[in-house]
Structure 1
Amino acid sequence: MNRTTIAILCGTVLLPAAAGAAELNLICSADVVICERLVTEFEKTHSDIDVNMVRLSSGEAYAKIRAENRNPQTDLWWAGTGDPHLQAAADGLTAEYKSPMLDQMRDWAVKQAEVSGFRTIGVYSGALGWGYNKDIFEKKGIKPPECWADLLDPSLKGEIQIADPNSSGTAYTTLATLVQLMGEDQAFDYLKKLNANISQYTKSGSAPVKAAARGEAGLGIVFQHDAVAQVVEGFPIVVGSPCEGTGYEIGSMSIIEGAQNPDEAKIFYDWVLTPEVQEIMPEAGSFQIPSNKNAKIPEQSPDLGTIKLIDYDFEEYGSADRRKELLARWDAEVGGRAAE
């Protein structure tokens, strides 16, 4: 098996390295197509470095890095929502690094770095919302939702999918967004009511809208750029933004403390922050806002200026204690009722 062979093991994609070459052990928390494209492009321009890549959701990536704390097997963690990256930084699991690309980054990307003590940095941004299958809605006579409150309508019973916040950064962002919008008790009351309309809590954050695109669900709660990707592929998906306001992500990147290949990690880190690399993302179906201010924003990307965004508190909801507290309550009050 050569180094470009892709092995699919239990849903995890591995790109094995060639013997004798310099290596980079990468966790990628974006869609697998994007992860594969990045690895391919990097190995074209850095033929002396072979990348071992594993694709994990944000929560899974954080858990793996934490479990390997005394003997890190990962060098670099790219993408996924910023909250678990901030948690990893607070736990001392990631290394301080100030990239020479820092002065080219948008303000929100730099702020992410500053908040973390330069142990992570923003690589893209996107707003939370949903994508619904207009054919299913028309066939079943379901009124398209405009607000978070509309998702509680009985007509949507069994039609909604969302990921599990323990494994998915998208779903954790949803949880944290609702808590900030409504207050914690009211948010959990809402989530318990919403549970009646949920057909499945998925592992991956983008999976719900992919299910809606295939006609397996009516609506997926996702980042809006993930819904846009399905529209671009030709599926009958309509992108929605809640009227009450919504949260957003700062997809992030972190070098692991004690990495076996720190120099290779820094090379990838600086490379992926360049405008040239960030501009290839739409070719892999990625329509987030790039963090390099010199990179062209994809024309299909949702315009954040037209979306009612909350003042998302990344520092609080990226903290280990707050995250642990919210996930424990979700497990007890929502996740435990999912089978009911």
Structure 2
Amino acid sequence: MKKAVVVALAGGLSLPAFAAAAGELNLICAADVVICEKLVEEFGKAHSDIHVNMVRMSSGEAYAKIRAEGRNPQTDLWWGGTGDPHLQAAAEELTAAYKSPVLPDLRDWAQKQAEISGDRTVGVYSGALGWGYNTELLEKKGITGPACWADLLDPKLKGEIQIADPNSSGTAYTALATLVQLMGEDEAFAYLKKLSGNISQFTKSGSAPVKAAARGETGVGIVFLHDAVSQKVEGFPVVPVTPCEGTGYEVGSMSIIEGAQNPDQAKVFYDWVLTPEAQNLMPTAGSFQIPSNKNAVPSPEVPDLSKIKLIDYDMAKYGSTEVRKALLARWDAEIGGRAAE
């Protein structure tokens, strides 16, 4: 885990302030570390009276930490990562209800996340699930780039696929829940057992598989599409793909922790990061999700969800404690630890 204590900087963006609250803020950021650091830096410029302590974690790690600290919270705000663990935390009342004055300016899917959770979480960005493959590596090995979920079972891809562990990664849990909704639970686990024969590594981080593909360490990384786009934009020979059968998507979320030591400072960051000015910073840090504020300007590189075959992903069901625990337990029993030999 990387911890960065950021001293607030003078000057910077002139952004609306909805509250005044000097002091400290303890922040968990569950997105790529580059965007985490960018947001903290720019928040420091806008709110020089708040000293931010940021730690970067994957979604599953963040949820586990917040749950472990339930009786004595050390975290004030949890930003980013897939919505499912945020919804689970909300159901367990580990997070606090809060309605931002910016809420009416958000897209429907972001407001729906707040509605589902009783205002204990809110959508901050969205992105579709897919993968990225390394064209040079696959061509060298005579493998056609996979376009569908079924293509990932090609024996030629044995040892050439990486995906994260759904216990630690919200990306991988979204993949698991997507396949269950797309195929049915038993059929999805049968598929995953076959797929595991082609997987070389279950990574801890959701974006790590496509970074490995970009470096030529593996052929295919199953990730959110924006993570594949990010590698392509950086100049790597990566092709972003959304599967032909259909795919799920995430609503990256944000939650204030129940019993937080610095709730006023958390609300200042919460309100600020929902503004279009703050959300427009994301592409500058190589982050190509769809922003939740209707007035933010998506990068031209951001994948258009209207042109992707999306399933009707049931956020409430697959973000519930009961369903999430059951799926992860079955994954541990039937899939966990399996890798190509």
The CA deviation at 1:52 is 0.3
- Change over 3 Å in CA distance of 1:258–1:17 after alignment to 2: farther
Q: Over residues 74-123 of structure 1, what are the superposed CA-to-partner deviations in whole Å (9 max), with x where a residue is unaligned?
A: 00000000000000000000000000001100000000000000000000
The CA deviation at 1:16 is 5.5
Superposition map of 1:69-218 within 5 A: 69-218=70-219
The percentage of aligned residue pairs carrying the same residue is 77
| CA–CA distance in structure 2, aligned partners of residues 32 and 66 of structure 1 | 22
Q: In the alignment, is residue 13 of structure 1 matched against residue 3 of structure 2?
A: yes
Equivalent position of 2:284 in the other structure: 283
What RMSD, in angstroms, separates the aligned Cα atoms of the two structures? 1.1
Q: In the alignment, is residue 322 of structure 1 matched against residue 330 of structure 2?
A: no
For residue 311 of structure 1, give the secondary structure of its aligned residue in structure 2.
coil
| CA–CA distance in structure 2, aligned partners of residues 228 and 189 of structure 1 | 30
Aligned length: 328
Equivalent position of 1:3 in the other structure: none
Q: State the one-letter code of the partner of 1:130.
A: W
| CA–CA distance in structure 1, aligned partners of residues 190 and 113 of structure 2 | 31
The CA deviation at 1:297 is 1.2
The CA deviation at 1:303 is 1.0
Q: Over residues 198-242 of structure 1, what are the superposed CA-to-partner deviations in whole Å (9 max), with x where a residue is unaligned?
A: 010000000000000001000100000000000110000001110
| CA–CA distance in structure 2, aligned partners of residues 220 and 87 of structure 1 | 27
Equivalent position of 2:36 in the other structure: 35
Gaps in structure 2 of 5+ consecutive residues: 9-21
> Does the 8 Å CA contact 1:23/1:49 hold for their aligned counterparts?
yes
The CA deviation at 1:17 is 5.9
| CA–CA distance in structure 2, aligned partners of residues 106 and 44 of structure 1 | 27
| CA–CA distance in structure 2, aligned partners of residues 16 and 222 of structure 1 | 29
> Does the 8 Å CA contact 1:13/1:32 hold for their aligned counterparts?
no
Q: State the one-letter code of the partner of 1:211.
A: A
For residue 337 of structure 1, give the secondary structure of its aligned residue in structure 2.
coil
Q: State the one-letter code of the partner of 1:219.
A: V
> Does the 8 Å CA contact 1:209/1:222 hold for their aligned counterparts?
yes
Q: In the alignment, is residue 241 of structure 1 matched against residue 242 of structure 2?
A: yes
Q: State the one-letter code of the partner of 1:305.
A: S
Q: State the one-letter code of the partner of 1:195.
A: S
| CA–CA distance in structure 2, aligned partners of residues 282 and 17 of structure 1 | 23
After the TM superposition, list the runs of 4 or more consecutive aligned residues in structure 1 that deviate by more than 4 angstroms.
Answer: none
> Does the 8 Å CA contact 1:17/1:23 hold for their aligned counterparts?
no
| CA–CA distance in structure 2, aligned partners of residues 14 and 289 of structure 1 | 26
Equivalent position of 2:19 in the other structure: none
Gaps in structure 1 of 5+ consecutive residues: 1-10
Q: State the one-letter code of the partner of 1:15.
A: V
| CA–CA distance in structure 2, aligned partners of residues 17 and 119 of structure 1 | 29
User: TM-score, with normalisation over the residues of structure 2?
Assistant: 0.95
Q: In the alignment, is residue 221 of structure 1 matched against residue 211 of structure 2?
A: no
Q: In the alignment, is residue 59 of structure 1 matched against residue 60 of structure 2?
A: yes
For residue 95 of structure 2, give the secondary structure of its aligned residue in structure 1.
coil
Superposition map of 1:264-303 within 5 A: 264-303=265-304
